[in-house]
Structure formats: C-alpha cells, structure tokens
Amino acid sequence: MIIKTQVVIPSLVRVKPGAIDRLGLYLKREGHTKAMVVVSQGMIPEYLDRVRRGMGEQGVSCIDWIEIGEASFETATKLFTNVRKETSAMIGLGGGKALDVAKYVAFLGRLPYYAVPTSLSNDGFSSPQSSLTVAGRRKSLAAALPSAVVVDLDVCKDAPRPLWLSGIGDLASKLTAIFDWKLAFHQVGEPVDDFAALLSDATVHQFLARPSFDLEGAQLLASSLMFNGIAMEICGSSRPASGSEHLISHALDATSARPRLHGLQVGVATYLMSLVQENQSERIDGLFNETGFWRQIESDPFSRAEWRSAIEIAPTIKDDFYTILSQDGAQAEAISLLDRDERLKACFGP
C-alpha cells in the first residue's frame, strides 16, 4: 500500500507570451473535455475570445461560463451546488475575485483548478487560500493550490499599471514579513523555517535586480509571486509572505471607506514597517521610486485618519502572531511616521 500524502504543487506551469491561446491545448492534454469557466466581470472581450477559440479548436467544451463581480463565500457555495456532474476541470480567468471564487469552488468539489490571471497584482493566483467575504466580512479561507498556473506574459504586460504596481507592493512585503518572522523567533520562540525564508528572500531579489514593465519584468514578477505563494504551502504557514504590513492592510480592508488594491496598501505599509524595523527601507524606497509606485500612490492618496486607526487595530487582527507591532512603542512610532517621513507624507490626504 502506498499512503497518499502528497503536497500537490502546480504540476502544469506555463509562463509565456500567448499562453491563453494554448489553454485549450493544456486542458486537452490532461484529458479534460468539459470545463467550467469563472471570469471577471468586465474582462477584455478579446481575451475571452482567444480562450474560447483555443478551447474550441481542441474540442474542449465550456459547459458553464460564469461572470463574477464579487468574491463571497455565499457566491462560491451557490456555484458549487450548481456544478454539473460532467465538469472535469475548473478555470479561473481574470483578476483576484474570479480566481478566488473559482479556486474555492474547485476545492469544495475536488476539481482540478487552472488559474489564468490576466494581471500580476498579488500572489493570490498561486496561493492555497481564497480571500472571500463570509457574511460580509473578508476572510482568508483554507483551500488548495491550483493544479495548473497559466500566465500569459503578453496579457499581463499590458495590464493597467496600477495592477503591476500592486504586485510589486505585494512582492516587497516579503522583506518586512521575513523580518517579523525572525523577530517572532527571538521574542517568543516561534520556529523560523530557514529554507522557506531564504526562498522567499531569493524570489524578491530576483525581481529587485531588474524591475521593468516589459516581458522580462513580467516573467520575473510572475515567477517571484508564484514561488512565494508556493512557499506558504510548503511550510504550512503564511509567515514567509505576510507580517505586520499585511495586518495593516487587513485592518484597512475591514474599516476603510474605500479600500484600495491589496498590493498598493501592502506596499505603503511595507515601507512604513521597514522604517520601524530599520530594515532595508532604502532598498524599498528605491524600488518604489524607480517603478513609479510612489507616483501612483500620490495620485490617489490614502486617508491618514484611516491609517492611524488601522495601525491601532492591526495587532488584534490575528491571534498569536507576533510582529514588530507587538512591541511597546511600535504603534506610536508608526503613527508618528505618517506625519514625519517625507515619502509617507506625500501618500496621505487628511
């Protein structure tokens, strides 16, 4: 007997220009002829056509084609109850919400899940959780990694710049997350997985070494985000990808009048926490400067009052999760930096 205890990591990974045209081929090769597709509302029609054509040419029929505008547990379970018996694969196509819903429906039904992001705005396309609202409150629900990741670099390269920048912000957060993890080791003995930390670090530096908005930049960003999502699954913890900066972003999601893109919030919080941590702030500042991240934030500044409140709420967001914000004075320091640091001052309205 073989006891089956496999960590299933995406077995099909295609990161290249034109990948969405070949999605049908990838499905066909794995023996799928009937798929359910969940797409983002407002998706560019050309992309839909290309996916449809590719599937058609390979004889893969799309037995359901669902547009998703919001990512809720209730929507996902409703969809699950309607999955047709003959469905053999689930496809998530588009942005975070469509992908989170598709991932969760596939998880409930134990269906192979193909993640096909059209932008690289965060690491969710290859993470083992789904971010869904449950009874109106956003939660991160346990799910499974996709069995296939298909990233069309041409498509992602042409994604709106704010989405790119969001992905860059999410990637930068690994630097403060790893710092918080090591801090938790020294302060409360939480075990650090050296290898996962190293992998997480390495993936960031890969992109940092040459940030650009061309095909090569998209490739580096895609693989960096993907390794990161997978690192979480491998070590069974969100620690390699998420620290105090994510707590602030979660707090904003719960309280802000108008939450922004995940990675934009996270990126600013990363810079802020790096100052409190005294950890690579210049490097982060340089990256944000070079890529236009700062300009993006300045063009639509955050509310200083909301951030003050978010910093206060942040440490209560997760139980037993030590970060720099658990230390005396760290919250006060962070709040005062909103008014003192030149970069940050430009990021906030009243």
Q: Where are the beta strands (DSSP E) in 41-178?
A: 61-68, 89-94, 113-117, 129-134, 137-142, 148-152
DSSP 55-71: HHHTT-EEEEEEEESS-
Q: Does 195 bind a copy of itself (CB under 8 A)?
A: yes
Contact set for a copy of itself, span 111-170 (CB under 8 A): 134-135, 141-142
Shorter beta-carbon distance to a copy of itself: residue 69 or 236: 236
Decide if residue 320 touches a copy of itself (CB under 8 A).
no
Minimum distance between the CB of residue 151 and a copy of itself, rounded to whole angstroms? Answer: 11
- Residues numbered 210 to 229 that lie near a copy of itself (CB under 8 A) are 210, 223, 226-227
Among 188, 202, 254, 346, binds a copy of itself (CB under 8 A): 202
Q: With contact defined as beta carbons under 8 Å apart, do 149 and 126 qualify? A: yes
Q: Which is nearer to a copy of itself, 190 or 333 (CB)?
A: 190
Residues 87-116 contacting a copy of itself, CB under 8 A? 108, 110
User: Based on CB atoms, which residue is closest to a copy of itself, 85 or 258?
Assistant: 85
Q: Which of 12, 43, 62, 335 binds a copy of itself (CB under 8 A)?
A: 12
Minimum CB distance to a copy of itself smaller for 188 or for 332: 188
Identity of the residue, 221 or 338, whose beta carbon is nearer to a copy of itself in the bound complex: 221
96 marked among binding-site residues: yes
**Closest to 286 (Cα-Cα) out of 205, 193, 197:** 205
Size of the site for a copy of itself (CB under 8 A): 46
* β-pair type (148-152, 137-142): unpaired
145 annotated ligand-binding residue: no
Q: Is 185 in the site for a copy of itself (CB under 8 A)?
A: no
Closest distance of CB 337 from a copy of itself, Å: 30
Supply the minimum distance, in Å, between the C-beta of residue 345 and a copy of itself. 34
CA-closest candidate to residue 113, choices 49, 57, 30: 30
Closer residue to a copy of itself in complex, CB, 9/48: 9
Minimal CA–CA distance to 104: which of 85, 122, 78?
78
C-alpha triplet 58, 90, 135: angle, nearest 5°: 155
Angstrom distance (rounded) from CA 264 to CA 245: 11
Q: Give every CB contact of residue 230 below 8 A, 6+ residues apart in sequence.
A: 9, 10, 126, 145
Query: Which pairs count as long-range contacts for 187-196, CB under 8 Å and 24+ apart, including other chains?
Result: 187/322, 187/326, 187/327, 188/322, 190/239, 190/322, 192/239, 193/235, 193/237, 193/239, 193/240, 195/235, 196/231, 196/234, 196/235, 196/237, 196/239, 196/240
Q: What three-state secondary structure class fits 301? A: coil
Contact flags string 226-265 toward a copy of itself, x per CB under 8 A: xx--x---xxx-----------------------------
Residues 102, 75: contact at Cβ < 8 Å? Answer: no
By the rule CB under 8 A, 81 interacts with a copy of itself: yes
Query: 52 vs 318, which CB is nearer to a copy of itself?
Result: 318
Three-class secondary structure of residue 335 per DSSP: helix
Binding site for a copy of itself (CB under 8 A): 1-15, 73-74, 77, 80-82, 108, 110, 134-135, 141-142, 193-196, 198-199, 202-203, 205-206, 209-210, 223, 226-227, 230, 234-236
- Tell me the binding residues for NAD(+): 96-100, 118-121, 127
- In the annotated binding site, the residues are 96-100, 118-121, 123, 127, 170, 246, 262
